[in-house]
């Protein structure tokens, strides 16, 4: 982290601090001075946010879907709430980590001498340090945000869209997340351990918060996903019987000519008989 020493005339400088050995840094070249990689890294972050915003907008054009569940019970407020709660818990855990252990910052501005003398009163009031952050390392806030966005998108695309479409969306976002990991290491913004712990914490939050504890929320498709997996909530056991043959105007008809009669029997309701030929259906209810 940044350390300061008082000099004459109230000037301060940053003491030089060596980086810790890191396997990711040893395998990746140092591009901490590259403006292009820094811009690409920010662009990838904004792309993930745009993808999340697109998922937030799904409830507004849900009736127009051609590949998905138009009756999916998803709401933008629930999506935003899940995302913000995940980030709030994640950053609270992150605060508990970097406040108790401060590592030497691997960033370029953390290991070279620089004049950090405040130039205006607002610099003193609004920024504890004129230079960039150096001590908030374990774990990476950027990686926490990326994995949280990916988890929220995965939760809802699997719920709304078909299995094929959701797989394509996740395959398109996965390289962006991995690319951002490489950029962060190239820029020496974090150590590799910061990235690993961030992924573990974000995945743990996704499992406990969205898959185990928050499953009763109606934002997660209660009626099942497009892949055909129904929800067990408020389900009834239904028995389906098929009659041996169908008779049309008193004459037996072969099985290939007409669909068989469906008799749906529920333990707590009357039986329903459905018969049809072509596109015509007749429905009736009889006592068991």
- 13-43 per-position pLDDT tens digit: 444 457 788 888 888 888 888 888 888 988 8
**8 A C-beta contact, residue 263 and residue 273:** yes
Same domain, 25 and 131: yes
Please check the confidence at residue 8 and state whether its pLDDT lies above 90: no
What pLDDT does residue 66 have? Answer: 66
Q: Are residues 181 and 38 located together in one domain of the fold?
A: yes
For residue 232, tell me if it sits in a domain.
no
Do 253 and 193 belong together in one domain?
no
Same domain? For 255 and 160 the reply is no
**Same domain as 122, residue 258:** no
Within a 10 A sphere around the Cβ of 49, how many other Cβ atoms? Answer: 13
**Main-chain phi, psi angles of 266, to 5 degrees:** -115, 140
* pLDDT attached to residue 49: 92
29 and 159 co-located in one domain: yes
Q: Which two tokens stand for residue 193?
A: 């351990």
Same domain for 207 and 247, yes or no, is no
Single out the residue in 198, 213, 228 at which a domain terminates: 213
pTM attached to this predicted model = 0.62
Domain assignment present for residue 233? The answer is no
Per-residue pLDDT tens over the stretch 138-152:
888 889 999 999 988
Q: Is 38 exposed, middle or buried (0-12, 13-18, 19+ CB in 10 A)?
A: middle
- Whether 95 maps to a domain, the answer reads yes
Which residues span the domain enclosing 160? 4-213
Whether 127 and 190 map to the same domain: the answer is yes
Please determine, for residue 217, whether its predicted confidence score (pLDDT) is greater than 80. Answer: no
pLDDT band at 136 (very low <50, low <70, confident <90, very high): confident
pLDDT tens digit sequence for 112-127: 655 556 677 777 677 6
């Amino acid at each position: 982290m940044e350390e300061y020493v008082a000099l004459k005339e109230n000037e301060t400088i940053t003491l030089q601090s060596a980086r810790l050995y890191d396997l990711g840094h040893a395998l990746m070249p140092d591009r901490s001075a590259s403006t292009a990689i820094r811009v690409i890294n920010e662009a990838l972050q904004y792309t993930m946010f745009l993808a999340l915003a697109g998922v937030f907008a799904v409830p507004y054009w849900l009736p127009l879907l051609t590949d998905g569940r138009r009756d999916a019970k998803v709401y933008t407020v629930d999506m935003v709430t899940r995302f913000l709660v995940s980030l709030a818990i994640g950053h609270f855990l992150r605060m508990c980590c970097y406040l108790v252990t401060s590592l030497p910052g691997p960033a370029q501005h953390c290991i070279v001498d620089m004049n950090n003398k405040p130039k205006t009163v607002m610099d003193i009031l609004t920024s504890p340090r004129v230079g960039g952050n150096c001590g908030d390392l374990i774990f990476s806030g950027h990686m926490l945000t990326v994995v949280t966005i990916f988890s929220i998108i995965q939760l809802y695309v699997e719920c709304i869209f078909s299995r094929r479409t959701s797989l394509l969306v996740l395959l398109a976002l996965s390289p962006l997340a991995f690319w951002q990991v490489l950029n962060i290491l190239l820029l020496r913004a974090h150590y590799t351990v910061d990235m690993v712990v961030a992924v573990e914490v974000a995945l743990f939050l996704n499992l406990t918060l969205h898959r185990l504890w928050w499953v009763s929320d109606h934002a997660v498709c209660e009626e099942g996903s497009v892949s055909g997996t129904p929800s067990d909530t408020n389900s009834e056991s239904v028995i389906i019987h098929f009659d041996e043959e169908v008779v049309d105007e008193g004459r037996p008809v072969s099985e290939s000519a007409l669909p068989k009669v469906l008799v749906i029997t529920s333990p707590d309701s009357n039986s329903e008989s459905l018969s049809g030929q072509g596109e015509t259906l007749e429905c009736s209810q009889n006592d068991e």
